[in-house]
Structure 1
Amino acid sequence: MTAGAANRIGSDAAPQRVRVGLIGAGIGASRTPRMHVEEGRALGLDYVYDLIDTDRMRPPVPSIAELLGKARADGFAGVNITFPYKRAALSAVDEVAPSAASVGATNTVVLRDGRSIAHNTDYSGFAEGFRRGIGAHPRETVLLLGAGGAGGAVAHALLDNGVGLLLVHDTNPAATEALIAAIDARLGRGRAQAVRDLRVACAAAAGIVNATPVGMAKLPGTPIDMALVEPRHWVADIVYFPLETRFLAEARARGCHGIDGSGMAVFQAVKAFELFTGITPDAARMRATFDRSNPDSGA
């Protein structure tokens, strides 16, 4: 359904009610709800977006399967999924769409007709933000920090957008090996390598991408020793609260080109909104909402 059709429907009948949410830990600063709600209202929908923050729940915290079951019972049209549930949620749904199967994680679960279907809009979200932000900077070899749920989406997006060799590092070696195996299965061997020595990896890489949660408001710090980051590097971060992470700020202070997490945040939300509602949203309007919610903007 087009946005214009939604507006016409809204003018002739009571607003369609859409209830969705975000499941994750420590998500109080998320800007996703505001993007969804304001776009829903602009399209004439009665749009509700709940935060389901497991950090605020009394123990024992429900499993992701239980949280999804409750959302379905409560009439949700779907939920976004974030850290630390992006991989675990795949085993708690009825169906896994190709977008989630290819990267081994989900960030968007549609609840419809009594079924739960896992999708991944992180891939398309990061890819769009990366294409807009990278410019002419070299990308033959890139170091990816983090092989978890978001890291899988980012890895495939990088390799599909000009990166020749992806060096992958994670504090969990099993996660690294699983991601490389998935890349080998889809693209053939030789496109990704596990790395243990970050000094050697940084020396070989043109760019460094943080796909770990380090840098979030609840996990401050940097995902790498910043002494390894040189002015010749470009850096990218998927964290967007805060938008200017310590990793980005210190890299930019060294003269690095930086890509913040806003592109991924906005464009994953655009696609998720469409999956939840069947309506194509206005991406520019959602971006403007995101920008207004920046704490530095005074909004």
Structure 2
Amino acid sequence: MATEDVARGVILTGLIGMDIQGSRSPEMHEAEAAAQGFALRYRLLDLAQPPEQDADLAQTLEMVRAAGFAGVNVTHPFKQRVMALLDELSDEARAIGAVNTVVFRDGRSTGHNTDSYGFAEGFERQLGGVALDRVVQVGAGGAGAATAMAMVKLGCRELVIVDPQATRAADLVARLPGGIARAATRPVAAEIADAQGIINATPIGMEGHPGVPVDAALLRPDLWVADVVYFPLETALLAAARAIGCRTAHGGDMAVFQAARAFDLFTGHPANRERMAARF
């Protein structure tokens, strides 16, 4: 089927991850291509579901390359693992230490990171003007690396990274420019007590990963709270924050704008951001 699509001039793309059946990426990419007058097929390659569940990341990447895909998005839990399997990395992907978009061109694979761009765009739309003197971020994985880089670019003055794996938090801090970040040195409650905002950069709260990344009792009305999760749009964390009057930002805009930038890279046609956002 993939070979036939390529022969007909259809651009093939997709998403590699686990438990990704709720992804809205296929609809966003395919509808934007249709609006621009060309055909694109976006396939979910869910390594937690048949028929891909017995394949590993390397096998799946080679399969899509051989099938003629223009590229693939990569999501949890593969954003950092995929880096060693690629021929090249963009400067941003290398600095962030995570890849969410792989482009196949001229026989080579190049890893990009569009998550940082997506988070920054969504943050400005939903939380533009909030104080960024001191922010606590939960999560130092692939998504966390992207959100941390976005916070640097947005002008955060101090970013405290909380992660169960202390070495992962320390590694992320070391990669960030400007010396604004540090790994948490106090209990989470103490770190949040004098912060102005919280970012959830973990999968906690998404479908299949229920719960909250921090105790909701630690929230207070003067905090802003941002979440990278977009399925559901209102996570348990955001619901608790909204209930007490916090300003909040859901992960939907991050999903839209990272997808738009990935679409640019896959197709060579700039995505209409407003049109993609309106469809989400």
| TM-score, normalised with respect to structure 2 | 0.94
Q: How far, CA to CA, are the matches of 1:226 and 1:124 in structure 2?
A: 28
Q: Is residue 181 from structure 1 mapped to residue 174 from structure 2 by the alignment?
A: yes
Matched, 1:252 2:242: yes
Given candidates 161, 172, 179, the residue that maps to 2:165 is 172
Provide the C-alpha distance between the structure 2 equivalents of 1:83 and 1:247, rounded to a whole number of angstroms.
Answer: 20
Per the alignment, residue 6 of structure 1 pairs with none
Is residue 2:278 matched to residue 1:278?
Answer: no
Asked if structure 2 preserves the Cα contact closer than 8 Å seen for 1:15 and 1:44, the reply is no
Size of the alignment, in residue pairs? 273
Match for residue 7 of structure 1?
A: none
Give CA-to-partner distance per residue, 1:103-138, whole Å, 9 cap, x none: 000000001121110000001000111112223221
Partner of 1:266 in structure 2? 256
CA RMSD of aligned residues (A): 1.5
Shift of residue 59 of structure 1?
A: 8.8
Q: What is the CA distance between 1:44 and its match in structure 2?
A: 1.4
> Helix, strand or coil for the counterpart of 1:30?
coil
- Partner AA of 1:236 in structure 2: A
Equivalent in 9, 20, 44 of residue 13 of structure 2 = 20
What residue number does 1:103 align with?
A: 96
5+ unaligned residues in a row in structure 1: which ranges? 1-13, 291-299
CA shift, 1:160, in A, is: 1.2
Q: TM-score, normalised by structure 1?
A: 0.89
Change in Cα spacing, 1:33 to 1:59, as seen in structure 2 (3 Å) is: closer
Structure 1: how far apart are the matches of 2:166 and 2:120?
25
Does the 8 A contact of 1:90 with 1:106 survive in 2?
A: yes
Equivalent-residue separation in structure 2 for 1:244 and 1:70 (angstroms): 35
Find runs of 4+ consecutive structure 1 residues off by over 2 angstroms.
Answer: 57-63
1:78 matched to 2:78? The reply is: no
Aligned counterparts of 2:109 and 2:128: Cα–Cα separation in 1: 38
The equivalent position to 1:53 in structure 2, one of 26, 46, 54, is 46
The letter for the 2-side match of 1:156 is M
1:233 corresponding residue in structure 2: 223
Give 1:194's aligned residue.
183
Does residue 142 of the first structure (1) align with residue 135 of the second (2)? Answer: yes
SS of match in other structure, 1:144: strand
SS of residue matched to 2:110: strand
Kindly, what percent of the aligned residue pairs are identical?
46
Contact 2:47 2:56 in 1 (8 A): no
